[in-house]
Structure formats: structure tokens, C-alpha cells
Chains A and B, each alone.
Chain A
């Protein structure tokens, strides 16, 4: 126990310097990183180049990057989601409609996104199934999204609708024209996870991945990314510091982005079966 206290002290000492000695911190972290007093969260943020080595700049840096992430949420999820409800009628115009075969059609982009979202959704629902954490509600959901007055189309709702749609197609193929209400009902039940106004931790991870993929279209989503971001998000969202918890989403996004810059080649589909990617 005395040993542990000394170690904790060493960490705290290193993290409170004006300029952190990266080498020394790496050495310390190499043999384990205490989770107490935000040590683990802060070490990870520094080592993933999210926090600068100059501790005085932490506050400004965090503020800037958290705001930038929130702007992405606004542009990629909130704005498109609101438009759909506001312009319900004008959206389906002669120029653009859901069956428009033009690759530039906003609808075809919407459907492509949905396909990607379905894959992310499947992987996030069963993220770290041995932890109940990801199934539980986060105390810090995305306020704009869970506030039902605004009627923004959440990712969850998008997935539900897409799932129902694909079931209809299946039925047509097998030639059954009567809708199987029981089956439909079950699907809806499966997807009602939490009460209105609540958001599970896995949904937050899903949103991070969705935004990451929208911003990195050349890379795309590859299964396994969920396993990379899972521990990062868990560490920040279960930190003892409420500020760290509250911004776990944005912080995880940036840490994940930085980590991916190092291990990107393993996640590029084009590189599968080459020396650089997976499968060689």
C-alpha cells in the first residue's frame, strides 16, 4: 500500500509540472497507471497528444477541442436531423427524392450513411458485454438530442427505421404480403433501451464513431474500432472527476482520432490482403 501511495505521488508530481517530461511519464505509465485522482485519464490524454505537455495550456486546449467536437455533432447530426422534421414536405421535391439514382443525391448519401450506421450500431450494442457500464444511462447525454421537444432524429431512431424497412424487403422477397405484426413488434421492443430523455453509454460511443467516419470518409468504419474506443471512453466516463466525465465524449473522440493516426493502416479496407493491412 505504501508502494502504491508512492507511485501515485510520483504520477501526481509529474502531471503537475509546468512542462511534463514525456519520457519520464512514459516510463512511469509503462508499469501501470493508477485510476485514482484522474491520473489514468490525464496520462492517456497526454500520451495520446490530446493534452499538451505544458500544463498551463490544458484548460484552453480542452475548451477549444471540446467546442470543435460539439460543432461536428451539430453539423453532422443535429442540423440534418432537424431539417428532416422541419421541411417534411419540401424535402421530397422533384429534384431530389429517395429513389433518385444520382450519386450526388442527398438521399443516396443518407442511405449510405445508414448502412454504415447499422454496422456501427450492431457493434456498439454489444460493446464490452461483460461490463454493464455501456448499457447503463450516461449522466451526461447530448442535451439537444434527448430533449424531445426539438424532435431531432437521433441515431437510435434512424437505426430503428432502417431496421423496419429492411424487414419489409425480406417479406416481399418471400412473397408474403401480410405484415407480420408479431415480428415487427418484437423488433421495436428490442430497440427500446432506455426511457425518453436518457441515453446509454454505448449510444455515446456510437455517436463518436459515426462522426469519426463522417469526417474520415477515406478511411470508413471497420469492425474493431469499437474495441479501440471502448476502453478510452470507459476510462474517461468513469473518472472520479465530474468535469472529465461530462466531457468524456469529446475527449474520447480526439484521443481516438490521434490514436488512429498511428494505427490507421490496419483499418483501411483497400489495404486488406496487402503487406500493409490485415490478411497478409
Chain B
């Protein structure tokens, strides 16, 4: 399938905050209440449309456990966006954000767009971290912020798409050097002149979900 850009994402955060469930909700539109513990790094992909352009998201879903940290680090490089996830019902997952952020900043390209996500917003009764706290943390560290629920799908689309919008805007502003693949962005076949045969199919279906 033809697309204008490919963005690489990485999802990070403590174990059990719902990283894999967010990805599953975004790619498959379903929720799995009991998800297997992620070992190492899993993969997901989906096509989205921004500004009338097809953008393919290639998403790496990492294990939150400390013992896999050295493996997940090798995926920061070449990521254009990161979803940093915590669980609004567990304060410790919020307290660890600084460590995650340091890790991400140290191992990624400096232009990486980071979206802070407070997940499990459906569990309002068990809330342990106020929305304002998440907002304040995001403001302080220059992140975008959203509360989501992988269970009800609330804000899940928005979280992934808004991150892409931010990256797209940075490309328009010339912040990202799209020819440098270490930035996690690749230009699709529509944009390269050496592929005349591909352009005819670009006006086709405008599906929001279409995995590779």
C-alpha cells in the first residue's frame, strides 16, 4: 500500500500500565483484559491519514520490566515518536516517569516527539494520579499529554494520531531532516520520483485501519 511517510514509534513505561493493550486497541480495535507479559519488543503497524496524506505508523511495543531495558534501548534509535505511558491508578508508575524520560532522551534523536499518556482513565474510582499532575509534568518537560483508556478506546486514536500530527508539523517546519533515517521518518513511494508506477494507486481507499 502506498503512503507519503512512514513514522517509527516506540511505546515505553512501567510494566502493567497497558502499553500492549493501547497498541492492540489502536491496531486491532479490541481490548484484551488479560494480556501476556511482553517479552522484549513486539511490533504493530497501521495506516493513518493526516492532512490528506497517508502515513504509515510502525510501532515498537516494549517490555516494561527492568531486565529487558538493555534490549528495548536498542529501539529508541530511529524512533520519531514515543508514547510514554503510566497508569493513573498506580502512583509509582507516575513517579518513574523521570527515569523513563532520561532514558529516552539519552538514547534517541533529540527531535523525538514524546506523548505522555495516563492510561486506564476508565478506572476513575481507583484514580491515584490527578489529571492536573500529568498535565503539569508534561508542561514542565515539553511533552504532549493525554489520558486514555485502552479498555473503552477513549482517546487511543487521538494519542497515536496527535503524535503523528506533531511529527508531521515538525517536518513541515523543517525541524526534522527527513533524509536522515536516524530520525525515524521515511518518505513513501508517492514522494520519490523514481517510482512512477506507484502514484496511480494513491487515490484509492481511505481506510483508517489497514495493517501492512
Q: Which residues of A contact B (CB under 8 A)?
A: 65, 68, 71, 104, 214-219, 254, 257-258, 260-262, 264, 268, 270-271, 274-276, 280
Contact = CB atoms under 8 A, between A and B. Distances in A.
B212 A257 contact: no
Given A68-B70, A216-B71, A260-B74, A274 B41 contact: no
Given A65-B70, A215-B71, A274-B212, 19 more contacts: A68-B67, A104-B36, A214-B39, A217-B40, A217-B41, A217-B42, A218-B40, A218-B42, A218-B44, A218-B60, A258-B74, A260-B74, A261-B77, A261-B78, A264-B78, A270-B43, A270-B212, A275-B192, A276-B186
Nearest to A272: B212
Interface in B67-95: 67-68, 70-71, 74-75, 77-78
Interface of B: 6, 36, 39-45, 58, 60-61, 67-68, 70-71, 74-75, 77-78, 186-189, 192, 195, 212
Contacts of B186: 275-276
Contacts of A274: 189, 212
B41 A219 contact: yes
A182 B187 CA distance: 57
**7 closest pairs, A vs B, by CB?**
A218-B43, A215-B40, A261-B74, A218-B42, A270-B212, A275-B189, A215-B71
Contacts of A254: 70
B45 A270 contact: yes
A189 to B, nearest CB: 36
B36 A257 contact: no
A215 B58 CA distance: 18
Q: Which applies to chain A's interface (DSSP): helix, strand, loop or mixed?
A: helix
A215 B41 contact: yes
A276 B6 CA distance: 9
B90 to A, nearest CB: 25
Interface centre among A214, A218, A268 (most CB of B within 10 A): A218
A65 B39 CA distance: 18
A254 B74 CA distance: 10
A65 B71 CA distance: 11
Contact of A217 (B6, B39, B70): B39
A215 B68 contact: yes
B42 A271 contact: no
A270 B1 CA distance: 12
